[in-house]
Protein backbone atom coordinates (compact mmCIF):
# COMPACT_ATOMS: atom_id res chain seq x y z
CA UNK A 1 0.00 0.00 0.00
CA UNK A 2 1.16 3.53 -0.79
CA UNK A 3 -0.19 7.02 -0.01
CA UNK A 4 -1.69 9.14 -2.78
CA UNK A 5 0.06 12.41 -3.57
CA UNK A 6 -3.18 14.34 -2.96
CA UNK A 7 -2.96 13.33 0.68
CA UNK A 8 0.52 14.62 1.52
CA UNK A 9 -0.56 18.11 2.66
CA UNK A 10 -3.66 16.92 4.51
CA UNK A 11 -1.70 14.20 6.33
CA UNK A 12 1.05 16.67 7.26
CA UNK A 13 -1.44 19.15 8.78
CA UNK A 14 -3.22 16.32 10.59
CA UNK A 15 0.10 15.15 12.04
CA UNK A 16 0.83 18.68 13.29
CA UNK A 17 -2.66 18.89 14.84
CA UNK A 18 -2.18 15.47 16.46
CA UNK A 19 1.18 16.47 17.90
CA UNK A 20 0.12 19.88 19.23
CA UNK A 21 -3.12 18.66 20.79
CA UNK A 22 -1.43 15.77 22.56
CA UNK A 23 1.52 17.82 23.78
CA UNK A 24 -0.90 20.32 25.33
CA UNK A 25 -3.07 17.52 26.71
CA UNK A 26 -0.22 15.65 28.38
CA UNK A 27 1.33 18.87 29.70
CA UNK A 28 -1.87 20.27 31.24
CA UNK A 29 -4.01 17.17 31.90
CA UNK A 30 -1.88 14.05 32.31
CA UNK A 31 -1.07 14.63 35.99
CA UNK A 32 -4.46 16.00 37.08
CA UNK A 33 -6.91 13.93 35.00
CA UNK A 34 -4.89 11.32 33.06
CA UNK A 35 -8.02 9.51 31.81
CA UNK A 36 -9.09 12.56 29.79
CA UNK A 37 -5.58 12.88 28.41
CA UNK A 38 -5.63 9.25 27.22
CA UNK A 39 -9.09 9.68 25.69
CA UNK A 40 -7.86 12.70 23.73
CA UNK A 41 -4.85 10.67 22.58
CA UNK A 42 -7.05 7.75 21.44
CA UNK A 43 -9.51 9.98 19.56
CA UNK A 44 -6.85 12.03 17.78
CA UNK A 45 -4.85 8.91 16.92
CA UNK A 46 -7.99 7.36 15.41
CA UNK A 47 -8.52 10.52 13.33
CA UNK A 48 -4.91 10.51 12.18
CA UNK A 49 -5.03 6.85 11.13
CA UNK A 50 -8.35 7.44 9.31
CA UNK A 51 -6.85 10.30 7.31
CA UNK A 52 -3.89 8.12 6.31
CA UNK A 53 -6.25 5.30 5.37
CA UNK A 54 -8.40 7.62 3.27
CA UNK A 55 -5.50 8.43 0.95
CA UNK A 56 -4.31 4.84 0.60
CA UNK A 57 -3.61 3.20 -2.74
CA UNK A 58 -3.80 -0.58 -2.22
CA UNK A 59 -1.81 -2.89 -4.46
CA UNK A 60 -4.11 -4.47 -7.03
CA UNK A 61 -3.96 -6.49 -10.23
CA UNK A 62 -5.70 -3.95 -12.50
CA UNK A 63 -7.96 -5.15 -15.31
CA UNK A 64 -7.06 -4.28 -18.89
CA UNK A 65 -9.58 -5.68 -21.38
CA UNK A 66 -10.47 -4.06 -24.68
CA UNK A 67 -14.21 -4.78 -24.71
CA UNK A 68 -14.68 -4.17 -20.98
CA UNK A 69 -15.80 -1.05 -19.12
CA UNK A 70 -14.00 -1.06 -15.77
CA UNK A 71 -15.29 0.48 -12.54
CA UNK A 72 -13.83 3.99 -12.21
CA UNK A 73 -14.19 3.91 -8.41
CA UNK A 74 -14.57 1.74 -5.34
CA UNK A 75 -17.94 1.81 -3.64
CA UNK A 76 -21.49 0.51 -3.85
CA UNK A 77 -23.67 0.39 -6.97
CA UNK A 78 -26.74 2.48 -6.11
CA UNK A 79 -28.27 3.21 -9.53
CA UNK A 80 -28.70 1.22 -12.75
CA UNK A 81 -31.31 2.78 -15.01
CA UNK A 82 -31.99 4.19 -18.46
CA UNK A 83 -31.89 7.99 -18.44
CA UNK A 84 -32.01 10.95 -20.79
CA UNK A 85 -28.49 12.39 -21.00
CA UNK A 86 -28.22 16.00 -19.83
CA UNK A 87 -24.65 16.83 -20.83
CA UNK A 88 -22.64 16.21 -23.99
CA UNK A 89 -24.94 13.43 -25.22
CA UNK A 90 -28.49 14.13 -26.42
CA UNK A 91 -29.76 10.54 -26.51
CA UNK A 92 -30.79 8.05 -23.84
CA UNK A 93 -28.10 6.16 -21.95
CA UNK A 94 -27.70 3.57 -19.21
CA UNK A 95 -26.65 5.24 -15.97
CA UNK A 96 -24.59 3.25 -13.48
CA UNK A 97 -23.81 5.11 -10.25
CA UNK A 98 -21.27 4.11 -7.60
CA UNK A 99 -21.51 5.66 -4.14
CA UNK A 100 -18.18 6.13 -2.37
CA UNK A 101 -18.22 6.27 1.43
CA UNK A 102 -15.37 7.92 3.37
CA UNK A 103 -14.02 4.41 4.07
CA UNK A 104 -13.57 3.55 0.38
CA UNK A 105 -10.43 4.02 -1.71
CA UNK A 106 -10.95 7.38 -3.42
CA UNK A 107 -8.65 7.11 -6.42
CA UNK A 108 -10.69 7.34 -9.65
CA UNK A 109 -9.54 5.41 -12.72
CA UNK A 110 -10.14 5.41 -16.47
CA UNK A 111 -12.79 2.81 -17.35
CA UNK A 112 -11.49 2.36 -20.90
CA UNK A 113 -8.49 3.10 -23.10
CA UNK A 114 -9.01 5.94 -25.56
CA UNK A 115 -8.93 9.68 -26.07
CA UNK A 116 -10.52 12.34 -23.88
CA UNK A 117 -13.20 13.96 -26.02
CA UNK A 118 -14.57 16.26 -23.31
CA UNK A 119 -13.50 17.37 -19.82
CA UNK A 120 -15.52 19.98 -17.95
CA UNK A 121 -15.74 21.14 -14.33
CA UNK A 122 -19.06 22.46 -12.95
CA UNK A 123 -19.59 24.41 -9.75
CA UNK A 124 -22.60 23.32 -7.72
CA UNK A 125 -24.21 22.31 -4.44
CA UNK A 126 -23.18 19.68 -1.88
CA UNK A 127 -26.30 17.54 -1.60
CA UNK A 128 -25.87 14.05 -0.14
CA UNK A 129 -24.34 11.89 -2.85
CA UNK A 130 -27.23 9.40 -3.01
CA UNK A 131 -29.73 12.19 -3.79
CA UNK A 132 -30.79 11.81 -7.48
CA UNK A 133 -30.40 15.59 -7.95
CA UNK A 134 -26.70 15.37 -7.04
CA UNK A 135 -25.93 14.24 -10.61
CA UNK A 136 -27.06 17.58 -12.03
CA UNK A 137 -26.91 20.06 -9.13
CA UNK A 138 -23.76 19.19 -7.15
CA UNK A 139 -20.20 20.25 -7.84
CA UNK A 140 -18.94 17.80 -10.47
CA UNK A 141 -16.44 17.08 -13.21
CA UNK A 142 -17.52 15.34 -16.41
CA UNK A 143 -15.23 13.42 -18.75
CA UNK A 144 -16.15 11.74 -22.04
CA UNK A 145 -13.88 9.03 -23.42
CA UNK A 146 -13.76 8.06 -27.09
CA UNK A 147 -12.51 4.63 -28.07
CA UNK A 148 -12.66 3.98 -31.82
CA UNK A 149 -15.87 6.00 -32.16
CA UNK A 150 -17.55 4.57 -29.06
CA UNK A 151 -18.08 7.14 -26.32
CA UNK A 152 -18.50 6.80 -22.57
CA UNK A 153 -19.21 9.52 -19.99
CA UNK A 154 -17.92 9.50 -16.40
CA UNK A 155 -19.02 12.11 -13.90
CA UNK A 156 -17.22 12.72 -10.58
CA UNK A 157 -19.76 14.18 -8.15
CA UNK A 158 -19.12 15.88 -4.82
CA UNK A 159 -21.29 14.94 -1.82
CA UNK A 160 -22.27 16.51 1.48
CA UNK A 161 -18.80 15.78 2.87
CA UNK A 162 -16.69 15.82 -0.29
CA UNK A 163 -15.42 19.34 -0.90
CA UNK A 164 -12.82 18.89 -3.60
CA UNK A 165 -12.90 17.08 -6.92
CA UNK A 166 -9.57 16.56 -8.64
CA UNK A 167 -9.38 15.57 -12.31
CA UNK A 168 -6.17 15.20 -14.30
CA UNK A 169 -7.61 14.84 -17.82
CA UNK A 170 -7.64 17.32 -20.71
CA UNK A 171 -9.46 17.14 -24.07
CA UNK A 172 -7.35 15.37 -26.68
CA UNK A 173 -5.32 13.46 -24.09
CA UNK A 174 -4.64 9.77 -24.74
CA UNK A 175 -5.38 7.60 -21.71
CA UNK A 176 -4.99 3.99 -20.69
CA UNK A 177 -7.59 1.81 -19.02
CA UNK A 178 -7.27 1.58 -15.20
CA UNK A 179 -4.79 4.47 -14.95
CA UNK A 180 -5.64 7.34 -12.60
CA UNK A 181 -8.05 9.98 -13.86
CA UNK A 182 -8.62 11.85 -10.60
CA UNK A 183 -9.43 11.84 -6.90
CA UNK A 184 -12.38 12.96 -4.76
CA UNK A 185 -11.81 13.93 -1.15
CA UNK A 186 -14.08 12.56 1.60
CA UNK A 187 -17.10 10.70 0.28
CA UNK A 188 -18.78 11.15 -3.06
CA UNK A 189 -20.30 9.46 -6.10
CA UNK A 190 -19.30 8.55 -9.65
CA UNK A 191 -21.85 8.24 -12.47
CA UNK A 192 -21.23 6.43 -15.74
CA UNK A 193 -23.39 6.90 -18.85
CA UNK A 194 -23.13 3.85 -21.10
CA UNK A 195 -24.64 3.28 -24.56
CA UNK A 196 -27.92 1.37 -24.55
CA UNK A 197 -26.33 -1.64 -26.22
CA UNK A 198 -23.79 -2.09 -23.40
CA UNK A 199 -24.21 -5.27 -21.35
CA UNK A 200 -24.22 -4.33 -17.67
CA UNK A 201 -22.63 -7.02 -15.48
CA UNK A 202 -23.17 -5.50 -12.03
CA UNK A 203 -26.36 -5.14 -10.00
CA UNK A 204 -27.66 -2.80 -7.31
CA UNK A 205 -25.80 -3.38 -4.07
CA UNK A 206 -22.63 -4.76 -5.66
CA UNK A 207 -19.31 -3.45 -4.31
CA UNK A 208 -17.00 -2.95 -7.31
CA UNK A 209 -13.29 -2.17 -7.01
CA UNK A 210 -11.93 0.70 -9.05
CA UNK A 211 -9.67 -0.42 -11.87
CA UNK A 212 -10.54 -4.08 -11.28
CA UNK A 213 -14.27 -4.88 -11.55
CA UNK A 214 -15.83 -5.15 -15.01
CA UNK A 215 -19.01 -3.06 -14.85
CA UNK A 216 -20.13 -3.72 -18.43
CA UNK A 217 -19.00 -4.90 -21.84
CA UNK A 218 -19.62 -3.47 -25.31
Q: What gap in Å lies between CA 76 and CA 8, rounded to an integer?
A: 27
User: Over the Cα atoms of the chain, what is R_g?
Assistant: 20
CA distance 166 to 93: 25
Cβ within 8 Å of residue 110, ≥6 positions away = 70, 72, 145, 175, 176, 177, 178, 179, 180, 181
Calculate the CA dihedral of residues 74, 194, 161, 134 and round it to 10 degrees: -160
Which one, of 139, 128, 123, 140, lies nearest residue 193 by Cα?
140
Cβ atoms of residues 156 and 121 within 8 Å: no
Catalytic residues: 188
Amino acid sequence: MTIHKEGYTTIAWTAIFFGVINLLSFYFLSFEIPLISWIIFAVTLGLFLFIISFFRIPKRALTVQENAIIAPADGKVVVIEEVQADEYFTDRRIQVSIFMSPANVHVNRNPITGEVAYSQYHKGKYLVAWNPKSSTENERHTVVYNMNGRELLVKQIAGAVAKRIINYLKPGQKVQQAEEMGFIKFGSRVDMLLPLDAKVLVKIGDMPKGGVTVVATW
